[in-house]
Amino acid sequence: MNIKLSEIFYSFQGESSLVGNPTVFIRFSTCNLRCRICDTKYSFKTGEELSIEAICKIVLRVDCNYVCITGGEPLVQRAGLLSLIRRLKKSGKIISLETNGSFCVTGIPVYVKKIIDVKTPSTGCAGSFCKGILKNMSAGDELKFVISNKADYNFSKNFIIKNRISGIGCKVIFSPNLKIKKMGNRLSDWILADQLGVVFGPQLHKLIKERPVRLI
């Protein structure tokens, strides 16, 4: 089975509870959404088809335990994704999956840490979230909201309260859109004032000048 990939590279994990860990990233091509703030638009068109074995051979060139499957949107190629996950697990990798929240995640094994976006209004894709996801999340999974303004913050706050996310036990991350001036300061003030108990998650790859090692 082949998967259309945009790139494979080695860098630091920029977000989630795994932040800072050296990680091999496998970026799938294509996405079903078109977020205004997307910084990986190049993945919609570029890419090459590789077999699962070829992908694993490239990944195993690097002595690194962590593998993050990202996109684009990996769940667009669900069958290939599931095969790849099984193959990576056999190789002993610690696997995380970044997904945009618009696809159901049934069938993704529990050993995969799912980092799931809830698209906020400023992305232009609010409302794309697949509610069924909430029934298929485990404590090791994470919900991520990128916040660009107060409307995004209020939307995110209401989402976690309305859907009783604290009962699921997963980690909730509010990430400031660092392209917006002072958003980091403003977001941290709002979270603390509301005593929301969510994680403040600045994206590491936006803070440092990232110099990934390209593998394809």
**Residue 31 DSSP SS3:** coil
User: Ramachandran region of residue 101, left (φ > 0), alpha (ψ -120 to 50) or beta?
Assistant: left
58-97 footprint of ligand SF4 as x/- string (CB under 6 A): -------------xxx------------------------
Task: Report the distance separating Cα 38 and Cα 47, nearest Å.
Answer: 17
Which lies closer to ligand SF4 via its Cβ, residue 38 or residue 178?
38
Which lies closer to ligand SF4 via its Cβ, residue 120 or residue 196?
120
Q: Are strands 22-28 and 2-12 parallel, antiparallel or unpaired?
A: antiparallel
- When binding is defined by CB under 6 A, the residue of 8, 26, 35, 165 that contacts ligand SF4 is 35
User: Ramachandran region of residue 97, left (φ > 0), alpha (ψ -120 to 50) or beta?
Assistant: beta
Q: Shortest Cβ distance from residue 113 to ligand SF4 (Å)?
A: 18
- When binding is defined by CB under 6 A, the residue of 33, 58, 62, 204 that contacts ligand SF4 is 33
CB atoms within 10 A of CB 192: 10
**Residue 203 DSSP SS3:** coil
- When binding is defined by CB under 6 A, the residue of 77, 100, 122, 177 that contacts ligand SF4 is 100
Binding status of residue 38 toward ligand SF4 by CB under 6 A: yes
CB-based burial label for 158 (10 Å; 0-12, 13-18, 19+): exposed
Q: Shortest Cβ distance from residue 5 to ligand SF4 (Å)?
A: 14
Q: Shortest Cβ distance from residue 39 to ligand SF4 (Å)?
A: 7
Using only C-alpha atoms, the chain has a radius of gyration, in whole angstroms, of 17
Q: Shortest Cβ distance from residue 14 to ligand SF4 (Å)?
A: 14
Choices 6-14, 32-40, 105-113, 195-203 (CB under 6 A): range interacting with ligand SF4: 32-40
Choices 33-41, 108-116, 129-137, 155-163 (CB under 6 A): range interacting with ligand SF4: 33-41
In contact, 199 and 175? CB cutoff 8 Å? no
**Residue 82 DSSP SS3:** helix
Query: Rule CB under 6 A: which residues touch ligand SF4?
Result: 31, 33-35, 38, 40, 71-73, 100
